[in-house]
Amino acid sequence: MTVNNVETVLVIMLAIGFATLLVLSIILVSLMIAVMRNVKRVSQRAEEFTANASELASMVSQKVAPFALSAAVAAIARKFKQKR
């Protein structure tokens, strides 16, 4: 092989390697974008769930608070009655 042929072979091999890396990087970037979209969708659903859970908790606490207060007062009253 002459030097010119060796150079040509090396240039072809480098071009093939660079083309392969370019294709792989494009595929990797597209997969990363898809993963990021899924992560965004999951985080939005988690935010919605926590918002709904906090609304539910506040609603339940508003409804249960009078009963809890009356139960606490009844327990204190029972303790005073037991002491006598």
The Cβ-side half-sphere exposure at 1, using a 13 Å CA radius, reads 8
- Whether 73 is covered by a domain: the verdict is no
- Whether 35 is covered by a domain: the verdict is yes
Structural domain boundaries enclosing 25: 1-59
- Whether 16 is covered by a domain: the verdict is yes
Q: Which residue has the tokens 């409804």?
A: 63
Which pairs from 48-55 meet CB under 8 Å and 24+ separation?
none
- Whether 46 is covered by a domain: the verdict is yes
pLDDT tens profile 35-76: 999 999 999 999 999 888 888 888 877 777 777 777 777 788
Q: Taking CA 62 as the corner, what is the angle to CA 60 and CA 67, rounded to the nearest 5 degrees?
A: 90
- Whether 80 is covered by a domain: the verdict is no
- Whether 2 is covered by a domain: the verdict is yes
- Whether 9 is covered by a domain: the verdict is yes
Tokens (6 digits) for 22 = 């370019």
Residue 4 has pLDDT above 80, yes or no: yes
- Whether 33 is covered by a domain: the verdict is yes
Identify how many contiguous H helices and E strands the chain contains and give both numbers. 1, 0
